[in-house]
Structure 1
Amino acid sequence: MAAASRYHAEVARGIETLLSIVLPSKNEAPALAGLLPRLREAQPDAEIIVVDDGSTDETPALCAQHGVHCLSSPYSMGNGAAIKRGARAAKGDVLVFMDADGQHDPADIARLLARLDDGYDMVVGARDWDGQAGVGRGLANTLYNWLASRMTGARVADLTSGFRAVRADKFREFLHLLPNGFSYPTTITMAFFRSAYAVAYEPIRVVQRIGRSHIRPLRDGVRFLLIIFKIATLYSPLKLFVPASAVFFLTGLGYYIYTYTTQHRLTNMTAMLWSASVIVFLIGLVSEQITALTYKHHD
């Protein structure tokens, strides 16, 4: 609990707020009614910001009742957009992001802060299998974690967790990369790994959310499929394009051997497959350069 103790000690000495807790929320008033008092009890000196993403319930009034800063939007911009708006408005040196649906335990914030004080730049609350929202989501997240681990060479325990503590200055470096939709955790995690910022995972337990999820499997299925490609292109595009290029080349080679032994000639299909192999490889090279420029730091 060293980080939490250091935080309270510095607040007592009159130093500017060090901790900001950001909760993106869309029609989560029933969950916030129980969550906000628990948050205030767990972190009495923290700045708490609820980013109201176009809610039609009593979220603003509830925040006013509990003395919590509410950033309201006239219409829904998306979970990632709420995260960006909250990060810009937060005054703390350390940001904690958590869901407003009541799944996360405010008592776990102290554990994330303690790991952050060990020298990490971001600490992510990692769910176990029981914490996944259904078998389908669990299998998808397992696939994402495996692919991200292969790409980065580090163990990624929970790529899509929305509960994390992060150093504010480093998080804001990547605001321009974050999407407005639901895949912001994937983007920020891969961006930190790419920039050689230290990431740790702290096991947490989650409870059943209050209310209905805003994620729809049919509507968001394609988006989550695209996350798989985003994982690769955010970290190292060549790790995606080189295997794809090799598949085209080897398929063309195999087809050439077949046609040569049966027809004694080089077919147009073989030429097309080899051409595709070269084109995919060159696209990978260009993508690698673009990715490098994306992560280039500007003073």
Structure 2
Amino acid sequence: MSAEGSVSVVIPARNEAGVIAGVVQRLRYTLPEVEILVVDDGSTDETAMVARDAGATVFSHRHGMGNGAAIKAGARKAQGEIIVFMDGDGQHDPADIPRLLARLEEGHDMVVGARDGASQASVGRGIANRFYNRLASYMTNQRIQDLTSGFRAVRADKFREFLYLLPNGFSYPTTITMAFFRAGYSVAYEPIQAAKRIGKSHLRIVKDGVRFLLIIFKIGTLYSPLKLFAPLAFLFFLLGAGWYGFTLMSEGRFTNMSALMFTTSIIVFMMGLVSEQITALLYKRDD
């Protein structure tokens, strides 16, 4: 960027005392003039003190409020016209930031650091992220290379338009990406290679499974709910029609199960229509 002083880097961190100093120091070396904000999300170690000693401006939550809450707090405090978000665990390389900023100068409103397959935390999460990307691409009719990456550069004024949508304890990248697409803002992707996490990441069936399903529904409800509900309604209709055909041939009658499937398909489709209207109102802004 031609003016590094217009850039703020926001780093949410929780119990990252062992690595946060290195992250801040590499940032300061790479981009000497940027504003570095570390949002300490209720750490029980010395994350805040270490980050402050390394040269960052630190804001602390008294207790853990979640990654999304830290992101929102940092976005409100940031002084730059452009905000770069990155993790505090050392996965993201500050040397990649100039490439994100360069793409932003091309006229984009948000540039996302898209991780390659080797950068995924685990095989299970890699598979889940590929599914998210394909589903989101279907919903938006845009090629989405990394829906859940937390490493991104955005124009601050446009990002703040959607702070009210961002949840406190859930993944913010999914929400903000779909919001930008819904608003018609330009989103670009820049390939990066994220460092491996320290230690082994294990897929937790229940917790990660619930998170998986919630992200799927979040993708749908944040962009075009009818694209998610209509195929589901059609599936129930086909099941009802198939069961009716089977019972008609074998028993010569229309069963309650067929009626239930047909009714469910209508209800699901109507839910999609209502959700579509709610989503449209959600993004309505006063100019």
Q: TM-score, normalised by structure 2?
A: 0.95
* Among candidates 160, 163, 172, match of residue 175 of structure 1: 163
Per the alignment, residue 291 of structure 1 pairs with 279
* Among candidates 56, 79, 84, match of residue 91 of structure 1: 79
Q: Which amino acid aligns with 2:10?
A: V
Q: Does the CA contact (< 8 Å) of 2:122 and 2:203 recur in 1?
A: no
Query: After the TM superposition, which residues 49-68 of structure 1 pair with which residues of structure 2 at under 5 Å, given as runs?
Result: 49-68=37-56
Query: After the TM superposition, which residues 188-207 of structure 1 pair with which residues of structure 2 at under 5 Å, given as runs?
Result: 188-207=176-195
Query: After the TM superposition, which residues 1-299 of structure 1 pair with which residues of structure 2 at under 5 Å, given as runs?
Result: 4=1, 6-8=2-4, 17-210=5-198, 218-299=206-287
Structure 2 Cα separation of the partners of residues 212 and 71 of structure 1: 30
Unaligned runs of 5+ in 2: none
> How far did 1:285 drift?
0.5
The alignment partner of 2:11 has SS state of strand
Structure 2 Cα separation of the partners of residues 197 and 176 of structure 1: 17
Q: Which amino acid aligns with 1:141?
A: N
Structure 2 Cα separation of the partners of residues 89 and 263 of structure 1: 69
> How far did 1:216 drift?
5.9
Unaligned runs of 5+ in 1: 9-16
Structure 1 Cα separation of the partners of residues 131 and 110 of structure 2: 22
The alignment partner of 1:166 has SS state of strand
Q: Does the CA contact (< 8 Å) of 2:23 and 2:88 recur in 1?
A: yes
- Count the aligned residue pairs: 287
> How far did 1:48 drift?
0.5
Q: Does the CA contact (< 8 Å) of 1:178 and 1:187 recur in 2?
A: yes
Q: Does the CA contact (< 8 Å) of 1:31 and 1:210 recur in 2?
A: no
Q: Which amino acid aligns with 1:164?
A: R
> How far did 1:173 drift?
0.8
Q: Does the CA contact (< 8 Å) of 1:101 and 1:211 recur in 2?
A: no
Going from structure 1 to structure 2, the CA distance change for 1:28 and 1:216 (only over 3 Å counts) comes to farther
Deviations 1:65-92 (A, max 9, x none): 1231111011000011100110011111
> How far did 1:215 drift?
9.1
The alignment partner of 2:276 has SS state of helix
Q: Which amino acid aligns with 1:291?
A: T
Q: Does the CA contact (< 8 Å) of 2:125 and 2:203 recur in 1?
A: no
Q: Which amino acid aligns with 1:136?
A: G
Structure 1 Cα separation of the partners of residues 125 and 248 of structure 2: 47
Structure 2 Cα separation of the partners of residues 188 and 86 of structure 1: 15
Q: Which amino acid aligns with 2:3?
A: Y
> How far did 1:220 drift?
3.8
Per the alignment, residue 14 of structure 1 pairs with none
The alignment partner of 2:63 has SS state of coil
Structure 2 Cα separation of the partners of residues 218 and 278 of structure 1: 31
> How far did 1:286 drift?
0.3
Of all paired residues, the percent bearing the same amino acid is 64
